[in-house]
Structure 1
Amino acid sequence: MQKKHLVLAAAVLLCAAVVFSAGCVDNGTSGDRVEILYSAPGTMAQLLDSEAVDAVITWQPFVAGIEESGVGKVVSYSEDLPPAGKWEGHTCCVFGANSNALANPEVAADVTALMILGNEYITENPDKSAALIADWLFANGELTYGDVKVDSLDVMKASIPTILFSGEVTDAWITSNEDFVKSQRDLGLVTGKLANTNSEETEALLFDFSAYDAAQDILASGKFLDPKTAVQEISIGYLPSDHDGPLFVLLKDWKFFKDNYNTYLKPVSEKVGKIDKAELYVNGKKVCDVKLIEGSAGPQLMTLLQQNQIQYAVAGTPPFVSAIDKASSAVDIKILAPIMMNGSGLLVADDAPADDWDSFVAWIKERSAEGKPVVIADPQLGSIQDVQLKAALDSAGIGYSTKSA
């Protein structure tokens, strides 16, 4: 595909210039090296197209957007990055709650069961789910990359199949979370409650599977739980990403869940785009009002959980780990279940001489020999993508330095 050029905003160019001029922090001693540039995912397409960077690692739907716009191509999806087999089914986004939510165990179990059913819906109806998620996130509009417009439905159809939508708690998933905590310790980012825990202690701090276990019983029996204590309202926080798709399809196709399970989230008003008010029905009866709160980032949702402004949240594993590690609030936060796994990718410019990890490594070595190290945009120090990229580079014996403003 011929590369399509973007018209870059002056602000993006200025941002790139500031970051690139900030200097390096050296890591590793290999003669083969790359430079890692910490960058906001929303700027990565422009950075890649302008040749300010040579590669990017990011999450969906940014991966699909870069591909569909013709700016870049995938070298490796996150689950395929080396070391071989390490990242299969890796943790990414989870469904969590605070202690106030868990004080009403029936509602917590019912909502958790619905989230699991939302995952199953996407797996069984990927194209319809792509349309519903494009509706929620983009109101079915086009996505603009400079002067290139991309159909949001095309982006969702490309993105959804690369995400493992699963609400199943497995030993491998638990281990993936524990491995992530260890990586945060190595980076000096986990310094509180999780700083010196063993596996059993880490699990006790991170997870509460009581709602998940009850949800499994609900799904096995087909009978949802009527709350023993009246609840007037719950609030669910989420982020504007297709990773949160199970929540979106529950609301966008609520009649499906009503017809099949008689327990559902019914929007107060049906409309194109995002929904902010709904009602929870359990066994055909209204239980409570539901507010849907869009967050700007995972840490913001953790703050809202601790302040009890929301009781449930869909967010990445890193903010949950950080919030639990640093918690000083009387309101506890727990991860209840996965919401999805995998869902990230490493991309290069569409005309770059690399099509897979091995050819990417060969390109890095060639550029290093020329004294022109490959520059890779990376979302954030300590992000899942950052941890995976550095592990892959380490496995190939490639050193790296980082740039920050």
Structure 2
Amino acid sequence: MAALLILALLGAGCVSETPVIPPEESHGEVGIMYTAAGQMPVLLSTGQIDGYMVWQPFVSVATASGIGKVVSYSQDLPPAGTWTDHTCCALSGREDFIKANTDVVNAIAALLILSGNYIQENPDRTAEISANWLFGGADMTFGAVTISSNDVLKGSIPTIRFSSVPSTEWLQSNDRFIEALRDIGYLTGSLKDAPSEDVREMLYDFSNYEAARAMVDAGEIKTPQKLTKPLSLGYLPSDHDAPLFVAIKDWEYFNEKFGIALKPRVNVPGKVDVADLIVNGVMVAEVKLVQGEGGAQLMTLMATDALQMAYAGTPPTISAIDKGTAIKILFPTQNEGSGLVVAASAPVTDWDSFIVWIDARSAEGTPLKIAAPIRGSIQDVQIKYALQDSGVVVKEV
């Protein structure tokens, strides 16, 4: 079961323009190949790849198991400062649902803000909850290597920036993604030719975040009217969704301290399928928790009203809006959280020595092979951007 869940961990990110490097600054060559995130540690441990660029917890898998080591976390990749606070996961909602149930959306937003804050103060508890939700607390096996899922998550959680603030850097990261999608012809709908001053209005509605933030700051959550039918909330099986897992598994803490909770209908280990949204002691909504296989799948479910809200990456949400799905990004829930890993035996300690290794391997006629997830994902673009900025020739293999 753990192996299946590992392979199911999916995500999506943004793409951006790649810099043009003067020939006199050129270095060696790197091949980029695409594969599922769950396969990357096995490929690295068996020497089929030299490294990989991926989201957590697979960066932590490498370090916890001894398979590999981190060259750079995503926010520190060159050019310096480019990826600070970069986009990843966000809460989104159908426009019709938001309009009809504003107070419920505000309450859920407030809870996720609070649980994001909780993670910063309780990383070990968050790791324990996430390991149990995602893997049932079981060990993770990659070829001949077996490691504790709890140890992996303890290494992963501190490297993810759990933030609900729609910062300037976060917005600019999404702007870069949109421009890149235009350049490669992936946008064909409403965002394709929209003026830049209109794009943000088409993508975002921060009013629920602002209302939720005001309630959190005031220490009083408004009790919504009870929904007449269940709310379906989609999410992905990734530790990037830890604020949702924490809010549900530690519901008693949030209920007692803040008067709001997502109480599981059934107290079971691992993931939860149904929870009750309770505000000030009143059950206001039945929340069905729908685990998706990827952000694009969740967006398809939102388009058909099978989901009313979703916890997923901003890139698939942006693509869905471009195609005409009437949804809005409400606020970020998590930023950063990816990294570049190489084999433990590699003669590399940082980005500069990584470039030296690239040159040496290219001179030998055996260019490095680096795995990345989906083509056009944030991880794919970040590694290509960084390599080309350093004068490395990048080829897809």
What are the within-5 Å matches in structure 2 for residues 16-31 of structure 1? 30=26
Amino acid of the residue matched to residue 320 of structure 1?
T
Structure 1 ranges of 4+ moved more than 3 A: 27-31, 228-231
- Pair 1:382 & 2:376 matched: yes
> How far is the alpha carbon of 1:180 from its aligned partner?
1.7
Q: 1:294 aligns with which of 285, 291, 294?
A: 291
Q: 1:15 aligns to what?
A: none
* 8 Å contact kept, 1:183–1:387: no
Residue in 2 that maps onto 1:42: 38
Query: Structure 1 stretch 247-256 or stretch 211-220: which is displaced more?
Result: 211-220
Q: 1:364 aligns with which of 358, 362, 365?
A: 358
Give 2:130's aligned residue. Answer: 133
Q: Alpha-carbon deviation of 1:75? A: 0.4
User: How many residues are paired up?
Assistant: 375
The partner residue of 1:113 within 104, 110, 113 is 110
Whether the 8 Å CA contact 1:91–1:177 is kept in 2: the answer is yes
Q: Deviations over 1:243-281 (max 9, x none)?
A: 000000000000000001111100001111000011011
> Equivalences for 1:186-205 in 2 at 5 Å?
186-205=183-202
Selected match of 2:333 from 333, 339, 360: 339
Paired residues for 1:5-404 under 5 Å: 30=26, 32-103=28-99, 104-228=101-225, 230-327=227-324, 329=325, 332-403=326-397
Shift of 1:140: 1.1
TM (norm. structure 1) is 0.89
Decide whether the 8 Å contact of 1:73 with 1:348 is kept in 2. Answer: yes
Q: Any stretches of 5+ residues in structure 1 without a counterpart? A: 1-11, 13-26
CA-CA distance at 1:198 after TM superposition: 3.5
Listed one character per residue, the Cα deviations across residues 258-316 of structure 1 (whole Å, up to 9, x for unaligned) are: 00111110000111100001101112101011100000111000011111111111111
Per-residue CA distance 1:311-360 (angstroms, 9 max, x = gap): 11111122111111122x5xx11111111111000000010111111111
Q: In 1, distance between residues paired with 2:57 and 2:308?
A: 26
Q: Shift of the alpha carbon at 1:31?
A: 5.8
Contact 1:69–1:145 under 8 Å retained in 2: no
Retained in 1: the 8 A contact 2:275–2:286? yes
Shift of 1:372: 1.2
In structure 1, distance between residues paired with 2:129 and 2:45: 30
CA distance in 2 between partners of 1:82 and 1:265 (Å)? 40
Would the alpha carbon gap of residues 168 and 254 (structure 1) be closer, same or farther in structure 2, given more than 3 Å must change?
same
Counterpart code for 1:79: Q
Q: Give, in angstroms, the shift of residue 174 of structure 1.
A: 1.1
- Corresponding residue SS for 1:211: helix
Cα distance in 1 for residues equivalent to 2:228 and 2:109: 16
- What SS class does the counterpart of residue 88 from structure 2 fall into? strand
Report what 2:15 is aligned to.
none
- TM superposition shift of 1:202: 1.5
Contact in 1 for aligned 2:69/2:344 (Cα 8 Å)? yes
Q: Distance in 1 between matches of 2:318 and 2:358?
A: 33
**One-letter identity of the residue aligned with 1:151:** S
Question: Percent identical across equivalent pairs?
Answer: 47
Q: Distance in 2 between matches of 1:231 and 1:155?
A: 41
SS in 1 for 2:380: helix
Q: Which moved more, 1:386-395 or 1:76-85?
A: 386-395
1:53 is displaced (CA, Å) by: 1.1
Q: Which residue of 2 aligns with 1:6?
A: none
AA partner of residue 240 (structure 1):
P
SS at match of 2:335: strand
Tell me which residue corresponds to 2:16.
none
**In structure 1, distance between residues paired with 2:67 and 2:260:** 43
Please name the residue that 2:12 is paired with.
none
1:97 counterpart letter in structure 2: G
Contact 1:189 1:382 in 2 (8 A): no
Gaps of 5+ in 2: 1-6, 8-19
Distance 1:207 1:238 in 2: 19
> TM (normalized to structure 2)?
0.91
Question: Offset at 1:185?
Answer: 2.1
State the distance in 2 between where 1:220 and 1:194 align. 35
Shift of 1:204: 1.1
On the 8 A contact 2:233/2:308 being kept in 1, the answer is yes
Q: CA deviation at 1:177?
A: 1.2
